[in-house]
A and B are shown apart, each in its own frame.
Chain A
């Protein structure tokens, strides 16, 4: 069953921002989960980073890759972290 496209704002950080060439974009996506957003934007920007090394947040809350995304959400894609 086709689901209606959702308007999702995607924010990119560090390596992802450099790959995408932008820090943020608002897209119309056919997605159900955070993983879907990751995969579709990865295809869009040609990143090869697997999601297992990365983290995701939705509307400023840390989330899981299986977390649902809703119309109007902001999804933050974090490449592998390296603090300290």
Chain B
């Protein structure tokens, strides 16, 4: 399951929803807003998403992760709107029978989300300037 929200992400309730009697391991990744990028002081971030294709492409990513690293439960939530330093921008959680699948599926999901989902990030800097962030691997991925 993948979703987009303009509300703060509540990791604990998301984790509880993934409880599964067959799960022996759980792994999560949280992406947080940090206060600098490329040597510039960042005050806040603004995320924009095109939700219909975030959902459609996100479902494909979760299905691929399931094929490669069979898990029991997985969920991803991505924020939109204006976020402050320390806010959670993305949460990925995976529950699986054994830890290996949980680690690997979680890593696969966050990596593919960053590369493929139509989500954009604008940084607002301390000096009042702002700019859209380009994913550093997009050039390579765009040729794939």
Number of interface residues of A (CB under 8 A): 20
Q: Which residues of A contact B (CB under 8 A)?
A: 13-15, 51-55, 57, 60-62, 76, 78-84
Residues of B within 8 A of A84 (CB): 31, 78, 89-90, 110, 113-114, 119
Closest to B52 in A: A60
A14 CA to B78 CA, complexed, in Å: 17
Partner pick for A13 among B50, B113, B117, CB 8 A cutoff: B50
In the complex, identify which listed stretch (B16-24, B67-75, B100-108, B135-143) lies at the interface while the others stay far away. Answer: B135-143
Q: Given known contacts A14-B48, A15-B120, A81-B115, is B138 in contact with A53 (CB within 8 Å)?
A: yes
Interface residues on B, range: 20 to 34
Residues of A within 8 A of B110 (CB): 84
Kindly provide the distance from the CB of B15 to the nearest chain A CB, expressed in whole angstroms: 19
Kindly provide the distance from the CB of B57 to the nearest chain A CB, expressed in whole angstroms: 6
A54 CA to B90 CA, complexed, in Å: 22
* Known pairs A13-B120, A84-B114 / 8 extra A-B pairs, C-beta < 8 Å: A14-B122, A53-B134, A76-B53, A80-B135, A80-B142, A81-B135, A82-B133, A83-B113
Flag if B132 contacts A15 (CB, 8 Å): yes
Most chain A C-beta atoms within 10 Å of own C-beta, residue among B49, B50, B89, B143: B50
Flag if B78 contacts A60 (CB, 8 Å): no
Flag if B134 contacts A80 (CB, 8 Å): yes
Q: Given known contacts A13-B50, A14-B132, A53-B134, is B120 in contact with A81 (CB within 8 Å)?
A: yes
Flag if A81 contacts B118 (CB, 8 Å): yes
B116 in the interface (beta carbon within 8 A)? yes
Closest to B57 in A: A62
A17 CA to B49 CA, complexed, in Å: 13
Residues of B within 8 A of A13 (CB): 48, 50, 118, 120
Most chain B C-beta atoms within 10 Å of own C-beta, residue among A13, A52, A53, A82: A82
A84 CA to B136 CA, complexed, in Å: 13
A82 CA to B135 CA, complexed, in Å: 5
Pairs A–B under 8 Å by Cβ, sample size 15: A14-B48, A52-B139, A55-B118, A55-B142, A79-B132, A79-B134, A80-B142, A81-B115, A81-B116, A82-B134, A83-B47, A83-B114, A83-B117, A83-B135, A84-B78
